[in-house]
Each structure stands twice: as C-alpha cells, then as structure tokens.
Amino acid sequence: MATKSLTITQEAYERLAAWKEPRESFSEVITRITQRYSLLDLAGTLSSSEAKILEEYNSAVREDIKKRLEKTASLIR
C-alpha cells in the first residue's frame, strides 16, 4: 500500500484525533469521515410518524422564512 506524509496544524491533528476510535488508524478515520453518502442511504430510516413530524416541522419553517422574507421585502420597497 502506498503512503503519503501530510503536514497538519496541531488544531487539525487534535480534531482528527477526537474522531479516532480505539485501534483505528488515522487513515481509517479519514476514510470513514470523508465517505460520500446518498440521500437514498437514508430511505426507510424514519417511521411514518417521525416522517410526518419532520414534514410538518419543515413546512412550518418554510412558512416562517417566507413570511420573514415578505416582511423584509416590504421594508426595502
């Protein structure tokens, strides 16, 4: 397996080390936390009632944002 040496700041090292599990290499940490996921990976993770609650919350947030934008737009005019 080919290897590369990296220079990182102390802060970056500490953040990476905080993600590290026992017996896990830093290469394994980097690979694990940089995996790309698809939204389809989340399919089926919520129950019907949880999905409904999330949908209602999102609708309420969108409505609130819409009202705030309309209010801001009216103040600018």
Cα–Cα distance for residue pair 20/38, rounded to 1 Å? 24
Output the pTM of the full model: 0.49
Encode pLDDT of 13-50 as tens digits: 999 999 999 999 999 999 999 998 888 988 899 999 99
Range of the domain at 16: 9-40
Statement to judge: residues 26 and 53 lie in one domain: no
C-alpha pair distances (Å), 14 with each of 19, 20, 39, 42, 71: 9, 10, 30, 30, 44
Residue 18 within a domain: yes
C-alpha pair distances (Å), 25 with each of 9, 16, 58: 18, 11, 39
Cα–Cα distance for residue pair 32/28, rounded to 1 Å? 6
Number of domains in the chain: 2
Question: Which 3 state secondary structure label does DSSP give 56?
Answer: helix
Residue 51 within a domain: yes
